Amino acid sequence: MLAGAFTSARLSYRAVEDTEAEKTWYHEHIRSDPVTFGLGDSNLVRPQTKTKSDDHLSGISKSLLGVVICLKPQSETVQPTPIGVLVLDDEASDNYRHHHRLACLSLSIATEHQNQGYGREAINWAVDWAFLRANIHSISLGCVEYNEKGRHLYEGLGFVLEGRFRKCHFHERRWWDLLLFSMLEEEWEALRASRDTPVNT
């Protein structure tokens, strides 16, 4: 199992690299795309500076799990192609909350690689990693109400809608709810027990 710990069917996962090429890719393909930014970040949708993007990427690298999602290369001579980022953050920082074993998940896929099932595959991998390797008890995530594709994806993966922050998100002259989803350790066990476990597709 360890040999394939950082891969799934079509994807590989690696740590964030502190290189200018990595920072430029993240700024141009994730933080500068208004749709990707708007669906993956609750901050005001506006052009981002390279410095802000660099700071954000640096924060990802310090998370419990902060990885760049890559397409597996077709040959050993080709480098993996980065297509997105995935973060699992226990949000404990310097506080004494690690014993609760909670993690918050977020995901961003570059526009040109969306709607191809990569998000589903990456989340399945991250959920397995969290429960198999990091001893997490509960994974939560937020989804703004108008992100219907996201909601459909999360529910299809087994996340449970447990509540909402009502009318807390302003977007295009309307107030929207933030939907709160989670998956508990025992729910993951039940999902995987119904198939070959773990799954990475």
Torsion angles phi and psi, residue 74, rounded to 5: -75, -20
pLDDT at 44 over 90: yes
What's the confidence (pLDDT) of residue 197? 56
Percent of the chain exceeding pLDDT 90 equals: 84
What's the confidence (pLDDT) of residue 111? 96
Residue 81 identity: T
pLDDT at 96 over 70: no
What's the confidence (pLDDT) of residue 196? 62
Structure tokens at 65: 């799990």
Q: pLDDT category, 92, cuts 50, 70, 90?
A: low
List 13, 26, 118, 154, catalytic entry: 154
Percent of the chain exceeding pLDDT 70 equals: 93
Residues 6+ apart with CB under 8 A from 66: 15, 16, 60, 85, 86, 87, 88, 89
Cα 87 from chain centroid?
5
pLDDT at 134 over 90: yes
Residue 12's DSSP bridge partners are 7, 70
What's the confidence (pLDDT) of residue 45? 94
> 2-88+100-193, what's its fold?
Aminopeptidase (3.40.630)
Strands 81-89, 65-71: pairing kind = antiparallel
pLDDT at 16 over 90: yes
Q: Is 154 assigned a catalytic role?
A: yes
Structure tokens at 16: 């964030």
Q: What is the mean pLDDT of residues 176-196?
A: 93
pLDDT at 201 over 60: no
Residues 141-179 pLDDT 10s: 999 999 999 999 999 999 999 999 999 999 999 999 999
| Helical ranges in 114-184 per DSSP H | 118-132, 148-156
Q: What integer best gives the mean pLDDT of the chain?
A: 93
pLDDT at 65 over 90: yes
pLDDT at 198 over 60: no
